[in-house]
Amino acid sequence: MLESNNIQKQLHGKDLLSLHRLTSEEILEILKVAGELKEQQKKGVPHPILQGKTLGMIFAKSSTRTRVSFEVGMYQLGGNALFLSSNDIQLGRGETIADTAKVLSRYLDGIMIRTFAQSDVEELAEHASIPVINGLTDLLHPCQVLADLQTILEHKGRLKGLKLAYVGDGNNMAHSLMFGSAKVGMDIIVASPKGYQPNQEIVKLARQDAEATGVKVEIVEDPAEAVTGADVVVTDVWASMGQEAEQAQRVKDFAGYQINNKLMSLAKPDYIFLHCLPAHRGEEVAAEVIDGPHSVIFDEAENRLYAQKAVMALLM
Ligand code: CP
Ligand code: NVA
């Protein structure tokens, strides 16, 4: 793998801040390489593409999957990963993002950052001379959606022409799914209650992407309308990291938005269910669905590893 083609050359040195900033071809290339790297790993074929390279991983929020998959991915690529809790580095004591970016660029070959404000990630990337990868912000979660697309492709054999329904909070996952779906040619319909619908600016940008691929990005309130005839059904927690104080209110406001077998009787008979995890069974999804035969959540979690290995191999 990785005989350099033009798209691969184009990706080298880039940041991954938002799927909106990648071309459809770049996203499909990442998915192709992810599939190749998965096959190599399963066959036990070594692929030390990033030997001698180091990824710094800044975390201002908790993580299981992102931390472990980036760290293991870097190890499998022959490189190293450094866990940098934002509380333990000087960034947490007020050192500027610009200085942090410039200093880390002298030691590292790439930075993954999980934090609150998307603008902080953009600022880090602006001042870093090495690739910056968005490992989740309040606004976006692009690495997760690359893994989601890889999982859909594996289970459905294609992306183009499918209908993806997202039911729940119009959050970082909803936003990145809108970009990802629009870029690869899947219709996406998001059902959220009033007051929790996706960011209007993101909807506008995703619709621009969708125009280029000839698909639809729809926002509705009715979950039944969204899931009817869907090939892929996705949800996420009702209260994201940083919104813990709103949990009780959100449980009330999202009543009727639970993914359960009754709602899923409207989806295609062979629908697949995705959730980025962590999940709250009995809230956004019933155990009968997330632990049932349509659920592909652990394939999805596993694919974080391969999608991100592809991102690191291509960017770094
Ligand atoms: N889905 C996801 O990003 O999980 P973590 O918060 O565990 O990294
Ligand atoms: N929307 C969730 C995703 C967690 C991976 C959050 O931001 O907490």
Query: Is 252 inside a domain boundary?
Result: yes
187 DSSP assignment: E
CATH of the domain at 177: 3.40.50.1370
Looking at the fold, whether 154 and 115 belong to one and the same domain comes out as no
Q: Which atom of ligand 1 is nearest to the CA of 114?
A: 8
Catalytic annotation, pick one of 8, 65, 76, 144:
144
At residue 114 the predicted structure's pLDDT band, cuts being 50, 70 and 90, is very high
Q: Residue 1 domain-assigned?
A: no
Residues 69 and 148 in one domain: no
Q: How many domains does the chain have?
A: 2
Residue 1 Cβ inside 6 Å of ligand 2? The answer reads no
Please indicate, yes or no, whether residues 41 and 186 belong to a single structural domain of this protein. Answer: no
CB 302 near ligand 1, within 6 Å: no
Instruction: Please indicate, yes or no, whether residues 272 and 310 belong to a single structural domain of this protein.
Output: no
**189 and 286 co-located in one domain:** yes
- Given 65, 114, 250, 294, the catalytic residue: 114
Check pocket membership of 239 for ligand 2, CB cut-off 6 A: no
Domain span at residue 48? 6-140+302-315
Tell the residue nearest (CA) to atom 6 of ligand 1. 63
Q: Do 296 and 306 have their domain in common?
A: no
Q: Which has the closest alpha carbon to 137: 18, 237, 30, 23?
A: 18
The predicted pLDDT at position 312 comes to 98
CA-nearest of 32, 278, 289, 40 to 144 is 278
* Ligand 1 geometric centre to CA of 276 (Å): 7
At 215-265, the pLDDT tens digits run 999 999 999 999 999 999 999 999 999 999 999 999 999 999 999 999 999
Annotated catalytic, 141?
yes
